[in-house]
Structures are given as C-alpha cells and as structure tokens.
Structure 1
Amino acid sequence: MNKKRIGLIGAAVGTAGAVGVGAVVAARRYAVGRARLTPDPDAGEPFGELRGRPLTVEASDGVPLHVEIDGPDDAPLTVVFCHGYCLNEDCWHFQRRDLGRDGDLRLVLWDQRSHGRSGRSDLTHATIDQCGADLFAVLEATVDPGTPVVLVGHSMGGMTIMALAESHPELFEDGRIAAVALINTSSGELAELSLGLPMAFGKVFKTALPRVTRSLGKRAELVERGRRAGADVAFMVTRRIAFGDKRVSPSVVDFVEQMIRSTPIDVIAEFYPTLAAHDKLAALEVIRGLPALVVVGDEDRLTPPAHGRLIAEILGDAELVELSEAGHVTMMEHPEVVTRALIRLIDRVRPVAEEEERSA
C-alpha cells in the first residue's frame, strides 16, 4: 500500500472510526463550502474552554486519568459524566455550561484512558471492562461515600457504566448510584450493525475493518499526516455520520471533528475490538429499577434506536427520549432537549439527596 493511499485512508478512517466508518462516498454528495456556510448559531460558543478544578486519579494499572470538578464540594448530589469513543470530556460542553448554573450540583467530568488529557493505556487494557474499573477509581477519588451519584454516559461512556454495574453491583444496590442516564449507547451486538451501508457491502466492510485499523495503527505517523491533510473530508464525514439534522451548526461539527482528530489513530485501532465484542446485557439487570434516562437518535447509525429501546425496556423505570433528525451525538446536536431530560432525571432523585443531607 503506497504512502499516498495510506494517508488518504487515514484521513477518512481516523475520523470515521469514531463515528462510523464508510461514509466517505456519501461525503461526495455535499459541497464542503456550502455546508460550512450553514447558519451558525454556536459560532461564539467557547468550545473546549470550560475548565474545572483539575485532579489526577490513578487507575488500577497506573494510568493517570484526567478529572475536572465543577460546583461546590458539599453539594448534596454529584453528576458524573462519561464520554464516548474518540471524544473527551468537552463533548459535554452544553450540559456542563447549563447544569453548572445550579448551585446545588457538583459535576465530575473525566477523560477515558488514552483520550483527552488522560494517560495512554497499553493494548491489553484498552477494554470496556478496564474503563469500568477506571470509573470506579474516579468515583472513589471524587465522591464521598454518603453522597448519591447520577451517572451519565454517552456511547462508550454508557458501556463503561454497564461495566461498572457488572463489576460493582453493590454501588447500585446500596443507593450510592441514585440514577443513570444512557445516551446513544448499546448493551451489545454492535458487530452486527451495517453502519448505514448496504447490507452486502456492510458485511464486507466490517470483515475488513479490524485488519485495516490494525494496519493504520502500525503506520500512525503517516496516517496522522493524512488525517490533517483531509480536514474538509473529515468535516463532511463527521457531519454525515455523527449528526442527523443537516442544519446543525458548523461550529459544533468542527468541534466534534477536532475531538476525533485529536485521538491518535492507534488508540482508535486499539479500542475498536472491545466495542465490537461489547456484551453487557446482563449488567442492565443490576441497574434495573433505578431512575433512568435513555436517549436515542432516529438517525444514529452506530447505536441505532432499537438498542436504546431495548435498554429502556429492560431497565423498567426509565424515561425514553427519542429524538427525530438526530444522530449519534445528541447531547451536542440537540443540547437543550438532552439537558432538560437530564434535569428531569436529577429532579427525580434530588429530594432524596436533600433529605439525606438534612439527616446526616
């Protein structure tokens, strides 16, 4: 495979590996210039600039995890946000901005291993189960045992929450975890998806993808140059796959693409197998009965609505929010709707948190 071809593949796969691979052909249907001229209500939004009190938490294998905390330390309720594959804690920009105005909430945001400002994992620990162990370490380091927690997870972050439930069911049984929000995520069978491609081509593509990502990971430096050179293609791929509403702000698309591009190609390659093998259906029984929120997008090609509906059905006490013209990053595409839903969930457990604080 010549260097030029590797660079071009790197530009496409390096982006699409996080938001669904195979949309480069669809990107040709759009004129990049026209897309960037879409009305941009979020042009002045300080994406990536919201910062909290920093903390480094050491994972069980020694990897340093970057954590930030907003809000008062004596707040009666803590909300912990877990981001998805190839993103970082800044994907919660709108929720952090708006929920941060509530003086009675403490927000904990963290970067998953090998993502954002956290340290790099070795290949053997690039797994959903290890991410669940990382979340446990973050909880132990940031939340007092008597403070109830609302866990919020997007995509791989939701899988991380399921892994925590599987390995530490006592947290969900003793009231420490008061509620759970699962956004654009799945409990398993992701290897069966067609990624929005025609079924015959999708099967061929999925068979080849692990080999392609491993090959790209071994040529990381060359691929990274190709990704940087293919910024316009990356913008269109991200817009096509990550979002359902074509009126989405170009600034939001750019920011999501930047987060994806900042994730090294070898990290994308390392985490892909654990996503394909993910199976935490049984773990949902641990969460079952807790107040919960499940959000799905009708045009989500990575974790289709049926996956979220199944989760909501199993959980029992879950509010299911189905968004039209919505893709895989609903918290950035339709932030007001997702934030309002989170507030409803928080309000369901807030009286319990305040009562516990008064009786302490």
Structure 2
Amino acid sequence: MTTTTRRRFGIAGAIVGAASAGVAAAALAKRYAVGRIRLRPDADADEPFGELGGRRRTFTTSDGVELNVELDGPDDAPLTIVFCHGYCLSLESWHFQRKDLREEHRLLLWDQRSHGRSQRAGSDDSTIDRLGEDLAEVIEAFVPGSCVLVGHSMGGMTIMALADRRPELFGDRIKGVALIGTSAGRLAEITLGLPALVSKVVHKLAPTTVSMLGRRGALVDRTRHAGSDIAFLITRYMGFGDSRNVSPTLVDFAESMIRATPTEVVADFYPALMNHDKLSALHVLDPVPTAIMVGDRDWLTPPDHSRAMAAALPRAQLTEVPDTAHLIQLERPGVINDALRDLVKRATGEAR
C-alpha cells in the first residue's frame, strides 16, 4: 500500500469515525434528555391506564368488519354518551372521561375500524364516510334511546360524516355533539408549526412518503414496536402543549397507542384525512347543543379550524384551552369532563 493510499484510508477513517462519534453523541444526549424527563415528578405514575374495563361487545358492520365496542356505566341511564377516538389512537384515549363519568352516565366507547382491538379493513374501506356509516350502525345496535356524540380529531370527522349521511338522526336520536381537537377540512394546509416554506415542502413529500412506508409496513413496524426515545420526544412535543410539565407516564401511554397502530393503517387513512371536507354538513348540527374545544397550541388541528366550525354553527360554544395541544382530553381532562357534563345538561334540557 502506497503512502498516498494509506493517507486516503486514514482520512476516510477519520471522517467515518467523526461521523460515528457525532451520531453516538447525539444518541447519548437524547437518552440523557429523556432520562432527565423521566426523573421529574410524575402525577400519573400510578394511573391505571388501559385497565378500565367495561362490558365488551363485538359488532360486525354491514361490510363485514368486526368492531370492538365497550359499554360502561348504568345500563338504565336515559342517555348514552358515545365516544369516537382519533387517528392512530383507540378507545383507551378516553381514559379520564370514562373514569370520571362512568358512575353517573351510560358510556359507549368503540375502536374505529383498523384501530385498537377492531378488525383491520382494506385501504378502499378506510374512509371518513365509511367511519360515519360505522357510527350509525353502532348507534342503532347499542343505543336504546337518545345520545350525545363526542369526537376527538378523526372521531370528530366521523361525526361530521354521519351528519352528512344521516342528518335525520340529529335532533331525534342525537341530542348533543362535542367536537374536540378536530377539523371540517383543509388539513393539507396546516403548517405543523413550521415556517411556511418548510411546511409546503413537508406537505408535498408527505403523501409519497406515507404511501412508501405503508408498502413496507411490516418492516417499519418491527422497529416501531420496540419503542424509542425519539417517539417519546415527538409525542411529548406534538401531543402536549405544556410539554415541560406533562407526566412521562401519560406520554408513554399516548405513544403506546400510536405505536400499536400498524403503519399500513396510518397510510390507508392518511389520504382520507387530507381530503376530508364536511364544512357544508355542519349546519345539520345547529339544532342540537354543540361544544367545540381545541388547545391553543394544537398544530395538528389548529384553533383556526375550530373557529371556522364555530362560525358555521352560531349556537355552538367554542372553548380554546390555553397551553394545550392536540391530546386535549388527556392533557386537560378536567376541562373536557366539565364541558361534557354541561353539554349533557343542555342536551337533556332541550329534550325536556
């Protein structure tokens, strides 16, 4: 080996060594940061997340998909509160609402198709309109009288799809609606808190990237299921507005639901979310008491989207919760629970 060749190998080795050292240093810093976060006081360290069992049922939709449904609270209650969870979550995301309301109200919680314990559906059947039809069928099967619908994120879109497809239910069977951290459309225009130019690039690349990941879903999931410090930090940053004080246990709980959603499901529903447009259907909700709630730091379904819904529903009550992000029902459960109690009172008052 010549002196020149040895010098080239030496330079290459130095570059690789420096890069490896940089990656190792970044990983160590990240691990150190997460470790410090986990050492902070944790108000939810003993919270029984995922352990609030109800009366579990399996319901088969008209297109043959088996949905996981759980009933909780007194069966003889005159009104049922129906909870519709968000994208990449499950019925467990209503943990604090179930815990607080189950003693006095009849609750119906369900895993939307391809989420939680419900059966996987094909990509062609992973649409918001189909979710609206699922909700109609679940109400018909499990709600004996009147109900109030509560939807977070994609669950709110499910309610809007139901309004578009079955407007006759609102005011008759459905006496009230809560739309939490959701949108009536134009999600492809959100900035995610990024500069405008960067956001435009992200939205341009996202559909192709998500589709590619979906085609390699099994491979991607093998790495996701192990969990990671990065996933913890992203969930903490994007999901919670007061990220410095949020419980690490709560972040882990939210991240575990996201991680449990197969990558193929994430890819199947992504186009449906980006193409969602139900602003013209919102008038169907106007005759019933409606509560709209959003965190003022929600980058996934920003406050402007809730304000647009409130403008289309003059009788609705709009609440913007300070220092709160997308997972508002987990981050500020007291605010949400109080609003739901008030909504039920208004709904039953209207019924009387």
**TM (normalized to structure 1)?**
0.87
Native 8 Å contact 1:57 1:137 kept in 2: no
In the other structure, the counterpart of 1:206 is 203
Q: Does 65-74 or 268-277 show the bigger shift?
A: 65-74
1:66-77 matched pairs, under 5 angstroms: 66-77=68-79
In the other structure, the counterpart of 2:240 is 243
Amino acid at match of 1:301: W
Native 8 Å contact 1:289 1:315 kept in 2: no
Q: Report SS of the residue matched to 2:225.
A: helix
In the other structure, the counterpart of 1:20 is none
Q: Distance in 2 between matches of 1:86 and 1:207?
A: 22
Amino acid at match of 1:308: S
Q: Distance in 2 between matches of 1:115 and 1:311?
A: 26
Residue deviations 1:100-121, cap 9 Å, x none?
121xx21000000000010010
Q: Report SS of the residue matched to 2:135.
A: helix
Q: Report SS of the residue matched to 1:322.
A: strand
Native 8 Å contact 2:74 2:103 kept in 1: no
In the other structure, the counterpart of 1:315 is 313
Amino acid at match of 2:133: A
Residue deviations 1:39-68, cap 9 Å, x none?
211111110111111111111211001100
In the other structure, the counterpart of 2:18 is none
Q: CA deviation at 1:74?
A: 1.9
Of 253, 257, 260 in structure 2, the residue corresponding to residue 259 of structure 1 is: 257
In the other structure, the counterpart of 2:122 is 122
Name structure 2 gaps, 5 residues minimum. Answer: 1-28
Native 8 Å contact 2:288 2:347 kept in 1: no
In the other structure, the counterpart of 2:267 is 269
Q: Distance in 1 between matches of 2:51 and 2:259?
A: 17
In the other structure, the counterpart of 1:7 is none
Residue deviations 1:11-58, cap 9 Å, x none?
xxxxxxxxxxxxxxxx96992112222321111111011111111111
Residue deviations 1:187-235, cap 9 Å, x none?
0000111222221111111111111111111112221122234511100
In the other structure, the counterpart of 1:168 is 166
Label 1:30 to 1:168 Cα distance change in 2 as closer, same or farther (>3 A).
farther
For the pair 1:38 / 2:35, whether they are aligned, the reply is no
In the other structure, the counterpart of 2:54 is 52
Label 1:352 to 1:75 Cα distance change in 2 as closer, same or farther (>3 A).
farther
Label 1:286 to 1:327 Cα distance change in 2 as closer, same or farther (>3 A).
same
Residue deviations 1:251-310, cap 9 Å, x none?
111100000000000000000000000000011011113101110111100100011112
Q: Which has the higher contact order (CA 8 A, sep 6+)?
A: 1
Residue deviations 1:108-161, cap 9 Å, x none?
0000000001001011010000000000110011012xx111000000000000
Amino acid at match of 1:170: E
1:294-333 matched pairs, under 5 angstroms: 294-333=292-331
Q: Distance in 2 between matches of 1:264 and 1:155?
A: 18
Q: Distance in 2 between matches of 1:299 and 1:309?
A: 14
Of 160, 174, 182 in structure 2, the residue corresponding to residue 185 of structure 1 is: 182
Identity %: 56
In the other structure, the counterpart of 1:343 is 341
After the TM superposition, which parts of structure 1 deviate over 3 Å for at least 4 consecutive aligned residues?
27-30
Q: Distance in 2 between matches of 1:93 and 1:339?
A: 11
Of 65, 70, 83 in structure 2, the residue corresponding to residue 63 of structure 1 is: 65
Native 8 Å contact 1:69 1:109 kept in 2: yes
Q: Report SS of the residue matched to 1:117.
A: coil
Of 211, 222, 225 in structure 1, the residue corresponding to residue 222 of structure 2 is: 225
Amino acid at match of 2:266: I
In the other structure, the counterpart of 1:282 is 280
Q: Does 255-264 or 217-226 show the bigger shift?
A: 217-226
Residue deviations 1:159-202, cap 9 Å, x none?
000000000000014x2110000000000000111222221111
Amino acid at match of 1:160: T
Q: Distance in 1 between matches of 2:59 and 2:228?
A: 34
Amino acid at match of 1:49: E
Name structure 1 gaps, 5 residues minimum. Answer: 1-26, 356-360
Q: Report SS of the residue matched to 2:63.
A: coil
Q: Distance in 2 between matches of 1:237 and 1:230?
A: 12
In the other structure, the counterpart of 1:139 is 139
**TM (normalized to structure 2)?**
0.89
Q: Distance in 1 between matches of 2:148 and 2:124?
A: 29
Q: Does 122-131 or 223-232 show the bigger shift?
A: 223-232
Q: Does 135-144 or 223-232 show the bigger shift?
A: 223-232
Native 8 Å contact 2:235 2:254 kept in 1: yes
Native 8 Å contact 1:289 1:316 kept in 2: no
Native 8 Å contact 2:210 2:267 kept in 1: yes
